[in-house]
C-alpha cells in the first residue's frame, strides 16, 4: 500500500492519470503533479482533487518523490527529462520512474542509457496503463510495468492496496510498450472492420441499431465495436478524437513492424483507411469522418439510424406465442451442428426424420430414437417443416433441386427453414424459385450461430426472416433450438445479411488475432502472458478470446475450419461487390484464409490462419507454460500435517458401519488404490439390497459411462441413483454416500453426471472436485492440475489427454476447468479452493470449517500432492458430514482409499495367489489409443518380443468397413488367439495404433464403441482358458469383463502394479479364477506394461545345460532316466518330486520309434506340471530324420547331443546344443 510518508509525483495528465491521482490520494499518499500546457484539458478534473499539490516544473514535482509517473510522447521526452527544469534535476536518490509513452522500444532504451549516465541510481520502468474492460477487472486501472525485476517489484508496493488498481510486473524493459503496440494493432483493425461491417449491413437494408444490438452479443463482437458504433450512429464529436488516436497509434505499430521487418497486411490496410477517414480537413481541425465514409460507401448511416426502429427479440417472443405447432420435421444435414440441432429437437418431443450423406451419422441418429431416410426425396414426403443445415449453397441447391431432391415431393404449405450460412442473394433467389412452385411452400431464412455445444443444448442464436405466415409456421421449432431468437424485418435474405455482417467481423477478428499474436512472437513477448493481459484491454474481441488459446496450444482440432471462412468471407466479398461497398480489411482477411487453405490447412480449425504468418516469418506463436521440475515443486511445499489421520478414518469407518460409500466408477480403473472391495457390474435393486445387507465399508458400481454419450451417461446415473434409493429403503438403518469416480486426467462427463446424480439425490451442500492420484503422477498444486512425466510436471491441459476427441479441454487450472466444462454456468470466481497450505498447516479441523462455510450448491476443488494431504482432507470432510453436510464428490482413485481408510499393500504376484504353472498362455488385450499406451505397447514388444505373439486388429476394418469385412477380421484374430494360447504363448491382441476420429465428439465415441465391441467379440469367441488376462484401457477392460467374460461382480484383490487393479471375477464368469488385470490407459511409465507381463508370464523353462551347471555349482547329482512309456514318465516325475530333486527324462531312439511324438509330448507335459525342475532330451540319436521329428513339435524343450564318452558324464564335461521353441 502507498505510504503516507512517501511522495508520488505525476508529470503529464490525461483522464486515466486523474483516476490514478485520486486513487493515490485516497490511499493517504502525498501526490504532486506537473501538467504541461498541452495537457491542460485535464485541469478542471484536477482542480476537484483535494490534497493534490500542483508544481511549476517537472523538477519540482520529482523532488523528494519515491515514484514518478511520466506521461509523454517522443517529441517532448528530452526536454521533460533533461531540460533546465527537467525531471532529472529534482530526482532523488533511489527513486523509481514509470514512463507511459508512445516511444518505440529503441527510443526507450536510449532514454534508459541517457538517464543512467546522468543519474546512475535512477530506476526506470516502462509502463502500459489502461482501464480494465473485462467483467473481472471492470472499472479498475491496470498497470503493466516492465524493467529490472527488483525495480518492478519495488514499484509494486506503491500500487498494492490502491482501490480499483491492478498491478502486473511483466518482463524485461520495453515489454509493456510492446504489449501496448499489440493492443493498438488490434484496436485499429477492429475500428475499420466495424465501420465496414456497419455500412455493408445498412446497404443490405438492415437498421443499424438492429445490427448493433445483435452483433454486440454475438461472436462478431469486439470492445471497439461496442464503443465505436454508438458514436458512429449518433455523430458523436468524440468520434474524431477516436479516429485520430487510432491513426496515431497505428502509425507507431507500423514503425515498429518496419523496424523488426514483420508484415502486417491487415493493419497496413486498416491504417490507410484511418488516414482516409481523417482526410477531410477544415483549417487545422479534421472534419467528421462520416463525410468521408458516406462518400466512399454511398450510405448515410446517421439517416439510417434515425429511421423507425423495432425490437427484434420482442418480435420473436410474440412470434413464439402465436406460432403453430409442428408434428413432423425433416432435417437434412447431420454435420457437427446439424446433428446437435436434430437430436435436440428429438429430445424436445418433435418427430424428426433425418438425412445425411455420411451413413454412420444416420446410424447414430437412429440409435437416439430418430428416423432416417435414404435420400432428401424420401425424407421430404409428408413433413410439415423441412430444415436445411448443409455446408454451402451448392449442397443446399442439390438437396432441394438435385437428383432425388426434396422440393418436387414437398406437400403444399410446407415450410422450409434454411439454417446454412449462405449469401443473402442465394436466399432471395431460392425464395423466388419456391414461390414459382405455386404450392404455398414457404421459406424461412434462419442462419444460426453458437457452435456445436449450443446446437446440442438448444441454446443457439438464430436470426430469422421471411413472410409472417412462414415465420408463424416455424416459430415453435426456432424457439426450441435457440436461446436468443431475433426476427429481422425485410423478408428472406435479411437474416442472412445480419449473419454476413457477423461473419465479416468474426473472420477479421480471427485473422487480426493471428496477426497480433504472430507480431507479439516476433517482439519476443510471452504470448500466453500477453493473452492473459489483453483479455482485459480494449483490443479484445470475442474471437480473440476464443481462438487465441488454440494458437497458444498449437491445437487446431477443427471446431470451425479455415475453409468455413474461405466460404463466408467469400460471401462478404461477393455481396459487397454487388452492393458497391468497398471492404478492404475483410478482403485482406479473406486472402489470408485462402492462403491457409492453399497451404493445406483448410480443414484445420480456423485459428490455423496464424500458420500463414508463422510460415512466412518463421515465428512460433505457441505459448506452452514452462515445464516444472517435480522434485523442485514438491520440495517447495510446506511440510505435511504432522499427525496421521488414517487411524481416525479407519475408526470412523468402523463406528459408522451402516454408512456405506458407493462409488460409481465410469470405467474399471477406479479400483487402483483399494483392495478387498467388491465391484458390481449390474445394479438391479435386488443386487444392491444384497450388497447393502453385507454392510461393507464401500463397494463400486462399474458404470462404464465414459464410453457413452452425455445423454446416455446421465440417464444411466439417474437410474443407478434411483435404484440405490430404493435398495436403501429396504435395508433398515443403512445410509450411503455417492462418489463419482472419474479420470485423473480430467476426461469424462462432467458436469453431466453430477447434474444427473443431484436430480435424484437432491441438492448437495457442495460438489467436491479432487483428481489427485499419486500412483499415476497426478498432482494438484496452486489449483493447477499436473501430470508427472518422469521428473517433470506438465499441466494437464498440455498433455495428450486434454486433446481427447470426446472429452478434450483447455484449462489446467481446475477453477477455470470447472468454468470451461460447465460452459460458464459456474464461473471461475465461484469455485472455492482447499489449498495445500490449509491441509498441511491447519489440518482436518480447518478443512471441516472451510467446507461448512461454503454456500449451498457451490463447487470446491482440492489441492493435494501426497497421500497424507488426501487423508487430511478426507478426515475434515467426514467431520463436516457428521455435522450434517452432504457432498457429491467427483474424484480420482486416491480419494476413495483415503475416505475409507484403506492402507496400501505391495503389488500382487502370481505366487501371492497360489497359482500353479498352467498349460496355456496369457491374453493381453489393448484397446486404449492414448500415446502413453502406444509407447507402452512398443516397449512390451521390445522387451518380450521372443516370447510374445502379437495379433493386430485393424481399427479401420472393424469400425469403418462393411459388416462382412468386420466379421472376417474378428474371425482371423480369434483363430490366431486360440492357437497361441493353447501353445502356451502369451498373446497380445492390440488395435492398430493409428487413431481414427469422427467429425464430432459423438462420432468419435461411436467409433470407439465399434472398436470396443469388436474386442469384446474377439475375447468372447476365444475358448482357450488363458493363464491370466490383461485388459489395457478403461473402456476396453470394462467391456471385456462384463460383455466378453460375463462377470456380474468381482472382488478387487489389490494391484498388479501401482495403479493397476487386479480383480478376481465372480464364479458366474466364463473363466472363474483367472486373474483379471485392469490396466488403465494413462498409468505407468513406458515399461510398465512390459513389467506386468513379465511378472505374470509363464515361468521360464530351464535348459538341461543350466540344470547341470546348477548341479555342478551346488555339488549334487542329477539322475537322467530313459523312459519308454507313460508309466515310466510318471514314475520318474513322482520320484523326483518325492525327493524334491531335479531330473532328466531321456528319450532313446528306440523309444522314439516305439512311442513316437505322443511319448515326447507326454514327457514335456509331465515336466511342465512338475513341482520340481524336469527337462527332456533326446539321447544318442544318429539319424538326422529321427532327430528332426521330435524337434518339429512346438513344445519340445531342448536337445542334448553327447559328443564325448559316457565316462565324461560324471565331470559334466560335455557340449550341449539347446533348441528353444
Q: What is the pLDDT of residues 202-233, one digit of tens each?
A: 999 999 999 999 999 899 999 999 999 999 99
The pLDDT assigned to 1051 comes to 92
922 touches 1097 (CB < 8 A): yes
State the pTM of this model. Answer: 0.63
281-285, 1124-1128, 1214-1218: which is most confident = 1124-1128
pLDDT at 657 over 60: no
Q: What are phi and psi of 765, to 5 degrees?
A: -65, -35
Same domain, 722 and 841: yes
Same domain, 478 and 511: no
Please report which helix (H) or strand (E) contains residue 837, including its range.
Answer: helix 836-841
User: Distance between CA 497 and CA 176 in Å, rounded?
Assistant: 40
CATH number at residue 1002: 3.40.980.20
The pLDDT assigned to 73 comes to 84
Cell numbers describing residue 664? 460409481
Same domain, 976 and 885: no
Confidence of residue 156 (pLDDT cuts 50, 70, 90): confident
Same domain, 82 and 230: no
Same domain, 531 and 471: no
Confidence of residue 184 (pLDDT cuts 50, 70, 90): very high
User: Distance between CA 419 and CA 340 in Å, rounded?
Assistant: 13
Confidence of residue 1187 (pLDDT cuts 50, 70, 90): low
Domain hosting residue 221, numbered range: 181-307+501-617
CATH number at residue 708: 3.40.50.10840
So which residues are the catalytic ones? 499
User: Distance between CA 115 and CA 81 in Å, rounded?
Assistant: 8
For the beta carbon of residue 1209, count every other beta carbon within 10 angstroms.
13
Question: Last residue of some domain: 1074, 1096, 1118?
Answer: 1096
Classify residue 1217: in a domain, yes or no.
no
* Kind of pairing between the strands at 887-891 and 923-926: unpaired
Classify residue 279: in a domain, yes or no.
yes
Classify residue 794: in a domain, yes or no.
yes
Confidence of residue 74 (pLDDT cuts 50, 70, 90): confident
Same domain, 825 and 918: no
Place of cell 473481472: 136
Distance of CA 382 to the CA centre of its chain: 42
CATH number at residue 1157: 3.20.20.70
Burial class of residue 561, CB neighbours in 10 A (0-12, 13-18, 19+):
buried
The pLDDT assigned to 654 comes to 52
Q: Which one, of 337, 439, 325, lies nearest residue 384 by Cα? A: 325
124 touches 147 (CB < 8 A): yes
Q: At what angle do helices 1149-1169 and 1184-1191 cross, to 10 degrees?
A: 20
For the beta carbon of residue 1141, count every other beta carbon within 10 angstroms.
15
The pLDDT assigned to 1162 comes to 84
Question: Last residue of some domain: 488, 523, 545?
Answer: 488
Same domain, 121 and 40: yes
pLDDT at 1202 over 50: no
Question: Last residue of some domain: 872, 899, 926?
Answer: 899
The pLDDT assigned to 652 comes to 61
Same domain, 1039 and 1120: no
Average pLDDT for 866-883: 94
The pLDDT assigned to 771 comes to 96
Classify residue 873: in a domain, yes or no.
yes
Average pLDDT for 664-671: 86
Same domain, 245 and 327: no
Check residue 541 and report its DSSP letter. B
* 3-state DSSP assignment of residue 917: coil
pLDDT in tens, 309-341: 999 999 999 998 988 888 899 999 998 899 999
The pLDDT assigned to 1199 comes to 38
Same domain, 580 and 655: no
Cell numbers describing residue 448? 444460426
pLDDT at 1215 over 50: no
User: Distance between CA 927 and CA 52 in Å, rounded?
Assistant: 72
Radius of gyration for the chain, computed over Cα atoms and rounded to the nearest angstrom: 37
851 touches 731 (CB < 8 A): no
Confidence of residue 120 (pLDDT cuts 50, 70, 90): confident
HEC string for 446-514: CCEECCHHHHHHCCEEEEEECCHHHHHHHHHHHHHHEEEEEECCCCCCHHHHHHHHHHHHHHHHHHHHH
The pLDDT assigned to 695 comes to 92
The pLDDT assigned to 1221 comes to 28
Averaged pLDDT score across all residues of the chain: 88
pLDDT in tens, 399-410: 999 999 999 999
Classify residue 761: in a domain, yes or no.
yes
Classify residue 1218: in a domain, yes or no.
no
Number of domains into which the chain is organized? 6
CATH number at residue 87: 3.40.50.720
Average pLDDT for 814-828: 89
Cβ neighbors of 873 (< 8 A, separation 6 or more) are 770, 834, 839, 844, 847, 862, 864, 895, 898
Average pLDDT for 622-648: 84
Classify residue 165: in a domain, yes or no.
yes
CATH number at residue 289: 1.10.1040.10
Same domain, 593 and 536: yes
Same domain, 380 and 450: yes
pLDDT in tens, 487-527: 999 999 999 999 999 999 999 999 999 999 999 999 999 99
Classify residue 625: in a domain, yes or no.
no
Residues in the chain: 1221
Confidence of residue 700 (pLDDT cuts 50, 70, 90): very high
User: Distance between CA 2 and CA 1084 in Å, rounded?
Assistant: 52
User: Distance between CA 19 and CA 21 in Å, rounded?
Assistant: 5
Could you give the residue ranges of the DSSP H alpha helices within 368-407?
Answer: 376-380, 393-401
pLDDT at 1197 over 50: no
Distance of CA 572 to the CA centre of its chain: 33
Amino acid at each position: 500500500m502507498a505510504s503516507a510518508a512517501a511522495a508520488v509525483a505525476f508529470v503529464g495528465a490525461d483522464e486515466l492519470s486523474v483516476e490514478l491521482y485520486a486513487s493515490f490520494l485516497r490511499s493517504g499518499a502525498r501526490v504532486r503533479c506537473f501538467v504541461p500546457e498541452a495537457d491542460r484539458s485535464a485541469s478542471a478534473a484536477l482542480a476537484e482533487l483535494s490534497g493534490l499539490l500542483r508544481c511549476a516544473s517537472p523538477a519540482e514535482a520529482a523532488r523528494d518523490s519515491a515514484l514518478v509517473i511520466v506521461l509523454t510522447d517522443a517529441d517532448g521526452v528530452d526536454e521533460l527529462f533533461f531540460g533546465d527544469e527537467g525531471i532529472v534535476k529534482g530526482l532523488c536518490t533511489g527513486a523509481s520512474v514509470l514512463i507511459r509513452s508512445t516511444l518505440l522500444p529503441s527510443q526507450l532504451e536510449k532514454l534508459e542509457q541517457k538517464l543512467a549516465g546522468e543519474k546512475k541510481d535512477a530506476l526506470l520502468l516502462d509502463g502500459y496503463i489502461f482501464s480494465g474492460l473485462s467483467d473481472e477487472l471492470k472499472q479498475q486501472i491496470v498497470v503493466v510495468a516492465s524493467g529490472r525485476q527488483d525495480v518492478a517489484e519495488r514499484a509494486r508496493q506503491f500500487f498494492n492496496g490502491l482501490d480499483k488498481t491492478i498491478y502486473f510486473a511483466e518482463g524485461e524493459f520495453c515489454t509493456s510498450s510492446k504489449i501496448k503496440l499489440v493492443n493498438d494493432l488490434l484496436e485499429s483493425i477492429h475500428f475499420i472492420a466495424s465501420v465496414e461491417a456497419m455500412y455493408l449491413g445498412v446497404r443490405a437494408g438492415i437498421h443499424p441499431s438492429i445490427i448493433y444490438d445483435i452483433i454486440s452479443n454475438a461472436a462478431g463482437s469486439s470492445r471497439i465495436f461496442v464503443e465505436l458504433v454508438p458514436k458512429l450512429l449518433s455523430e458523436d464529436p468524440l468520434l474524431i478524437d477516436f479516429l485520430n488516436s487510432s491513426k496515431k497509434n497505428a502509425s507507431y505499430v507500423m514503425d515498429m513492424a518496419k523496424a523488426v521487418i514483420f508484415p502486417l497486411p491487415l493493419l497496413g490496410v486498416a491504417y490507410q483507411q484511418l488516414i482516409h477517414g481523417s482526410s477531410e480537413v477544415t483549417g487545422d481541425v479534421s472534419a467528421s469522418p462520416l463525410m468521408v465514409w458516406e462518400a466512399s460507401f454511398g450510405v448515410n448511416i446517421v439517416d439510417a439510424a434515425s429511421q423507425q426502429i423495432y425490437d427484434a427479440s420482442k418480435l420473436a417472443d410474440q412470434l413464439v406465442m402465436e406460432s403453430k405447432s409442428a408434428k413432423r420435421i425433416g432435417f437434412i444435414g447431420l454435420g457437427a451442428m446439424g446433428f446437435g440441432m436434430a437430436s435436440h429437437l428429438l429430445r424436445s418431443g418433435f418427430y424428426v426424420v433425418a438425412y445425411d450423406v455420411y451413413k454412420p451419422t444416420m446410424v447414430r441418429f437412429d440409435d437416439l430414437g430418430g428416423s432416417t431416410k435414404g435420400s432428401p426425396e424420401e425424407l421430404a414426403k409428408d413433413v410439415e417443416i423441412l430444415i436445411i443445415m448443409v455446408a454451402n449453397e451448392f449442397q443446399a441447391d442439390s438437396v432441394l433441386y438435385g437428383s432425388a431432391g426434396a422440393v418436387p415431393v414437398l406437400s403444399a404449405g410446407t415450410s422450409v427453414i434454411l439454417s446454412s450460412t449462405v449469401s443473402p442473394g442465394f436466399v432471395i433467389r431460392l425464395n423466388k424459385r419456391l414461390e414459382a412452385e405455386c404450392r404455398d411452400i414457404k421459406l424461412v431464412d434462419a442462419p444460426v450461430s453458437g457452435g456445436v455445444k449450443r446446437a446440442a443444448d438448444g441454446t443457439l442464436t438464430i436470426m430469422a426472416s421471411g413472410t409472417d405466415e412462414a415465420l408463424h409456421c416455424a416459430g415453435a421449432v426456432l424457439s426450441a433450438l435457440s436461446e436468443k431468437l431475433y426476427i429481422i424485418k425485410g423478408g428472406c435474405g435479411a437474416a442472412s445479411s445480419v449473419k454476413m455482417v457477423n461473419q465479416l467481423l468474426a473472420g477479421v477478428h480471427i485473422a487480426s488475432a493471428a496477426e497480433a499474436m504472430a507480431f507479439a512472437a516476433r517482439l519476443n513477448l510471452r504470448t500466453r502472458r500477453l493473452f492473459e493481459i489483453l483479455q482485459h484491454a480494449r483490443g479484445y474481441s470475442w474471437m480473440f478470446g476464443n481462438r487465441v488459446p488454440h494458437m497458444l496450444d498449437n491445437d487446431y482440432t477443427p471446431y470451425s475450419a479455415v475453409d468455413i471462412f474461405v466460404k463466408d468471407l467469400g460471401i462478404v466479398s461477393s455481396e459487397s461487390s454487388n452492393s458497391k461497398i468497398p471492404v478492404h480489411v475483410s478482403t485482406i482477411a479473406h486472402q489470408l484464409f485462402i492462403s491457409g487453405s492453399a497451404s493445406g490447412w483448410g480443414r484445420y480449425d480456423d485459428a490455423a490462419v496464424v500458420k500463414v504468418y508463422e510460415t512466412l516469418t518463421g515465428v512460433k506463436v505457441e505459448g506452452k507454460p514452462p515445464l516444472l521440475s517435480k522434485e523442485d515443486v514438491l520440495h517447495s511445499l510446506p511440510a505435511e500435517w504432522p499427525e496421521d489421520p488414517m487411524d481416525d478414518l479407519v475408526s470412523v469407518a468402523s463406528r459408522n458401519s451402516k454408512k456405506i460409500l458407493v462409488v460409481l466408477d465410469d470405467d474399471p480403473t477406479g479400483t487402483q488404490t483399494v483392495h478387498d472391495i467388491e465391484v458390481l457390474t449390474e445394479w438391479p435393486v435386488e443386487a444392491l439390497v444384497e450388497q447393502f445387507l453385507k454392510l461393507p465399508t464401500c463397494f463400486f458400481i462399474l458404470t462404464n459411462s465414459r464410453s457413452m454419450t452425455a445423454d446416455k451417461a446421465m440417464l444411466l446415473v439417474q437410474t443407478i441413483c434411483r435404484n440405490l434409493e430404493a435398495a436403501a429403503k429396504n435395508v433398515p438403518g443403512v445410509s450411503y454416500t455417492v462418489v463419482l469416480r472419474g479420470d485423473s486426467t480430467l476426461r469424462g462427463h462432467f458436469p453431466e453426471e453430477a447434474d444427473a446424480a443431484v436430480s435424484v439425490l437432491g441438492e448437495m451442500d457442495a460438489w467436491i472436485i479432487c483428481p489427485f492420484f499419486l500412483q499415476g503422477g497426478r498432482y494438484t498444486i496452486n489449483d493447477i492440475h499436473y501430470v508427472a512425466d518422469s521428473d517433470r510436471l506438465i499441466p494437464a491441459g498440455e498433455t495428450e489427454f486434454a486433446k481427447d476427441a470426446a472429452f478434450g479441454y483447455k484449462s489446467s487450472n481446475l477453477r477455470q476447468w470447472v468454468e470451461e466444462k460447465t460452459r460458464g454456468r459456474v464461473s471461475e470466481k465461484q469455485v472455492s479452493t482447499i489449498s495445500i497450505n490449509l491441509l498441511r498447516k491447519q489440518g482436518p479441523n480447518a478443512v471441516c470449517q472451510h467446507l461448512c462455510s461454503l454456500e449451498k450448491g457451490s463447487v470446491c476443488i482440492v489441492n493435494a500432492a501426497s497421500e497424507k494431504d488426501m487423508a487430511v482432507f478426507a478426515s475434515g470432510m467426514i467431520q463436516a458430514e457428521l455435522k450434517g453436510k452432504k457432498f457429491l464428490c467427483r474424484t480420482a482413485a486416491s480419494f476413495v482409499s483415503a475416505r475409507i481408510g484403506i492402507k496400501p499393500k505391495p503389488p500382487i504376484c502370481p505366487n501371492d495367489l497360489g497359482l500353479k504353472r498352467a498349460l496355456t498362455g496369457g491374453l493381453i488385450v489393448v484397446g486404449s489409443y492414448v500415446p502413453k499406451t502406444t509407447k507402452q505397447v512398443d516397449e512390451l514388444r521390445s522387451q518380450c518380443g521372443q516370447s510374445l505373439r502379437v495379433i493386430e486388429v485393424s481399427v479401420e476394418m472393424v469400425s469403418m468397413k462393411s459388416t462382412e469385412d468386420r466379421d472376417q477380421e474378428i474371425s482371423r484374430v480369434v483363430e490366431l488367439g486360440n492357437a497361441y494360447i493353447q501353445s502356451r504363448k502369451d498373446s497380445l491382441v492390440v488395435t492398430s495404433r493409428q487413431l481414427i476420429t469422427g467429425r464430432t465428439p459423438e462420432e468419435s465415441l461411436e467409433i470407439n464403441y465399434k472398436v470396443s465391441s469388436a474386442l469384446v467379440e474377439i475375447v468372447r469367441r476365444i475358448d482357450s482358458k488363458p493363464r491370466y488376462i490383461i485388459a489395457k484401457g478403461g473402456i476396453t477392460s470394462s467391456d471385456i469383463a462384463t460383455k466378453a467374460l460375463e462377470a456380474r461382480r468381482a472382488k478387487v484383490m489389490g494391484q498388479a502394479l501401482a495403479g493397476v487393479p487386479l480383480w478376481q471375477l465372480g464364479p458366474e464368469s466364463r473363466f472363474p479364477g483367472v486373474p483379471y488385470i485392469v490396466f488403465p490407459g494413462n498409468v505407468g511409465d513406458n515399461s510398465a506394461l512390459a513389467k506386468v507381463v513379465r511378472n505374470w508370464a509363464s515361468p521360464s523353462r530351464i535348459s538341461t545345460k543350466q540344470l547341470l551347471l546348477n548341479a555342478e555349482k551346488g555339488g549334487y547329482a542329477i539322475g537322467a532316466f530313459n523312459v519308454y512309456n507313460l508309466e515310466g514318465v510318471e514314475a520318474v516325475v513322482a520320484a523326483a518330486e518325492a525327493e524334491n530333486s531335479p531330473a532328466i527324462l531321456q528319450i532313446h531312439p528306440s523309444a522314439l520309434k516305439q512311442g513316437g511324438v505322443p511319448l515326447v509330448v507326454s514327457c514335456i507335459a509331465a515336466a511342465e506340471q512338475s513341482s520340481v525342475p524336469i527337462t527332456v532330451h533326446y539321447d544318442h540319436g544318429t539319424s538326422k530324420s529321427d532327430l528332426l521329428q521330435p524337434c518339429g513339435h512346438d513344445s519340445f524343450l531342448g536337445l542334448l547331443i553327447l559328443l564325448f564318452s559316457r565316462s565324461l558324464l560324471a565331470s559334466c564335461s560335455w557340449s550341449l546344443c539347446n533348441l528353444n521353441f
